[in-house]
Every structure is written in C-alpha cells, then in structure tokens.
Amino acid sequence: MPPSILHPPSSQVLVTGGAGFIGSHLAERLLRDGKSVVVVDDLSSGRMANLQAVSGHPALRVIQSKISACAELAELVARAECIYHLAAAVGVEMVVKSPIHVLETNLHETEVLLEAAAPHRTPLLLASTSEVYGKSQKPAFSEEDDLLIGPPHQSRWSYACSKLMDEFLALAYAKEQSLPVVIVRLFNTVGPRQTGQYGMVLPRFIAAARSGAPLRVYGDGQQSRCFGYVRDTVEALVRLQASRAARGEVFNIGGTEETTILDLARLVIHTLKSNSTIEFVPYSEAYAPGFDDMRRRKPVVEKLARVTGFQPQTPLREIIRLTAGL
C-alpha cells in the first residue's frame, strides 16, 4: 500500500525548530499557504520574538519543548500532513564551545523524530548542512560528491558528522520502513532575524557596520562563500516537500554568487554607508588553535532546479539590503 494511502490528508504541518531563524520564516509561509502549523522548539537558540508577526494567528500553535521531551509527539506526528525538521544545534561558535550539546542534540532528537514518524509514514524533510562536504577542495559541491571530514580532535567536525549521521539515519528509515524523506543541505542561508550570536558572519558584519565598530574578518579574508536569501530557501523547502520525485534524495539549497569574506565586509560597509573599518583576526584568537576553515563553499544547484523548477537567485547586494532592513 503506498504511503499516500497510509497517511491521511491533513492541513497540519509540524515544524521542529520553528522559532529559529529559518523555521520562523517557514512557519509564516506555511500559514500564508493556509496550513495549520505546530512549532516544537526548546528555544535554546530560537526565540519567540521570531514568530511575533504571526503570534496571534489562530492556525499557529507553539510547544516549547525538546522533541524528545514532547509528550504529544506521537499524536502530532500522526496528525501531521508533513514534517520539517529544522531543530539543531547551530553555529560555528557553539560547535567549538559545546561539542557534547551539538552531538546529543543533532543525533538524539533526529532519531526520536524519525522513530515517531515511521509508523505513519509522515513525509519528513531533514535540514542538513553544507558542512558535510568537509575539507574537499572542489570548486563547487554536488550532492553525489564524496565527503572528506577532518580529524576528530578538531571539534568543528563534530557538527558535520552529526548532521551526516542524521542523513544516513533518515535514508535508512526511507529504505527499511518506507518513510518519505527529503534531505536538504543548506549553504549559508541569511536574512532578517538571523542573529550573529552563534558566529554567523553577515549579521555580525551588519551589526558592526551599524554601530561603527570594526568588522572582524577571520584569517586573511580570502575564504569564499555563497549566500542564499532565507525566502528563497523557504521556497525551495516547500517545493521539495511537495515533490514526490524528491523523496529519498539529497538536495543542495543556496545561492551561487561567490564572494570572499573580505569583499563581503567591504560590501556591507558600502551598502550601509558605514564608517567602520575592517579588522583581521587570527582563527586561533577567534576560535581555538588548529581551527580548520574551508577556503571555498559553493553549491551546485542544478538538481534542485531540475526537480522543483526553482533555484535561489537573489543577488548578494539585495540580500545584504534586505537583511539589514533597508
């Protein structure tokens, strides 16, 4: 019997981590689409303020809890049309400073959710990360690439490994228990409401430029990244969840306009018409001795475009403007 028959139609959507940066934008989108949304978030990194715009919406319910501690989890999963699993420990600083928390959160909470979803075959989209590509020196990363993870004594790789294990576990449930699963690897999603508290570079730069403080660039600033606007990311998430062709597959989501971190700092200063300067900070001072950063991190997004007809295209200058609220 196909999963669509086993799983009755519903308009209720479960979003774990729905009070976080991306999760809150996703919750808003789903509510606009006429869905009832249940957010499960322990608020360890999410904030209720992120949901302020929809706080009084009659179709929104927020449960402050870890997934594993949510007494209603089995019932919520059984009634849900689908699940977006965005709850995770995030940010380079948290990874470096709290590796036990990162591993326990990313592994255990995902395991609990998959176990709950499997009997009902509730379609589940798992948010993973570009970090799983590890130390590869390829100019752009494709979903079929081999993954090269750094050594275990460098704690930054614990995050990549925890999310990669989430991917393996989700695909195992898809294979053995016919759970409809989609995996997405997010590349530097940015936009309004993102905080620089956990090391995210663009909100850090914007906050510094606004206050006239130096923009702290780690290393030599020649490491390059691509940035995707959060509403583009949400559009991709919604389309992938709705696509049967996407089930059992892995997709990159991100912009493809590459920039060095030094040029990003300059562009932020120019866009905000700031008088801030740029300060170079050694990685050993910013994080810890032996910290290993990637020189390039660019996604190949043809698979996303082929399956959904969509790929993020908001220009970086516009992303900075929108993120800064200009």
Q: Which residues are catalytic?
A: 159
Q: Other CB atoms closer than 10 Å to residue 312's CB: what's the count?
A: 26
Sort 139 into a burial class: Cβ within 10 Å, 0-12 / 13-18 / 19+. exposed
The CA-to-CA distance between both ends of the chain, in Å, stands at 52
Beta 258-260 vs 224-226: how paired, if at all? antiparallel
E strand spans, 132-209 = 181-186, 189-190
For residues 53 and 111, give the distance between their C-alpha atoms in angstroms, rounded to a whole number.
31
How many whole angstroms separate alpha carbon 320 and alpha carbon 326?
Answer: 9
For 268, phi then psi, to 5°, come to: -65, -45
Cα separation, 181 vs 166, whole angstroms: 12
Q: Which helix (H) or strand (E) holds 129?
A: strand 124-129
Cα 105 to Cα 94: distance, rounded to the nearest angstrom: 12
CA 218 to chain centre: 22
Cα distances (Å, whole numbers) of residue 325 to 128, 139, 177: 27, 32, 45
Find, among 272, 298, 254, the residue nearest to 205 by Cα: 272
Contact at 8 Å (CB) between 129 and 285? no
Residue 190 structure tokens: 């940015």
What DSSP element (H or E) covers 37?
strand 36-41
- Say which residue the tokens 């969840």 belong to: 241
